[in-house]
Amino acid sequence: MDRHPLTSRYAIVEFERRFLAPTLPPDVLHPIRITDRYISGTALRLRKMEDLEGSAPPLFKLAHKVRPDAADPTRVMSTILYITGFEYDLLSGHPAETLHKTHYSLQIGGRFVFIDAFEGPLEGLILVEADFGSEDEMKAFVAPDFVVREVSYDDRFSGGRLARMSANDVRELLKP
């Protein structure tokens, strides 16, 4: 049985591109408050999702994410478990770097993209993320006109790295 995270039948490949936006675009939908806890010394992310419109109960996930190619952040092998609130609380006892953001959806040209407006030391950072089912689909995607630059290949914009940043780090990151 294959249990390697890069080839396991339980891991799926995610194709994604990220873009930096100067402000939250109009017409965003479905605000969800996300708390991500990157468990220290692991490739595990613990996530709590709270629907700010109140239409759904909180959702809890444990994710294991590994890049098939360490130099290419656009492809990630991801295994996700949905867990209970009790399990989330139990796992939250582990040392972790934490970030908070509000996650929105926006439809652009028939495709949904996701916009994350970060809080705390990351306030002012707004990332647009587009997820794809294939590499060809990812390459064909045209960035929305409201973004200022693509940051897909800049590892400083990965969640685990962002969780360790200070407000000064983010100010440097946002410089043109």
pLDDT in tens, 97-140: 999 999 999 998 788 999 999 999 999 999 999 999 899 999 99
Q: Is the pLDDT of residue 4 over 80?
A: no
Q: How is residue 122 written in tokens?
A: 């990351």
Residue 116: other Cβ atoms inside 10 A: 23
Q: What domains does the chain contain, in order, with CATH numbers?
A: 12-174 (2.40.320.10)
What pLDDT is attached to residue 174? 87
**DSSP assignment of the chain, as one string?**
----TTT-TT-EEEEEEEEEESSPPTT-EEEEEEEEEEETTSSEEEEEEEETTSSS--EEEEEEEE-SSTT-TTEEEEEEEEE-HHHHHHHTTS-EEEEEEEEEEEEETTEEEEEEEE-GGGTT-EEEEEEESSHHHHHHPPPPTT--EE-TT-GGGSHHHHTT--HHHHHHHH--
How confident is the model over 76-91, as pLDDT tens digits? Answer: 899 999 999 999 999 9
Cα–Cα dist 33/52, whole Å: 7
**Closest Cα to residue 55, out of 35, 36, 29, 25?**
29
Residue 1 has pLDDT above 60, yes or no: no
Whole-prediction pTM: 0.90
Query: What pLDDT score was predicted for residue 8?
Result: 67
Q: d(Cα 78, Cα 92) in Å, to the nearest integer? A: 20
Picking from 155, 68, 169, the residue whose alpha carbon sits closest to that of residue 122 is 169
pLDDT over 70 for what percent of the chain? 95
Mean pLDDT, rounded, for 58-68: 94
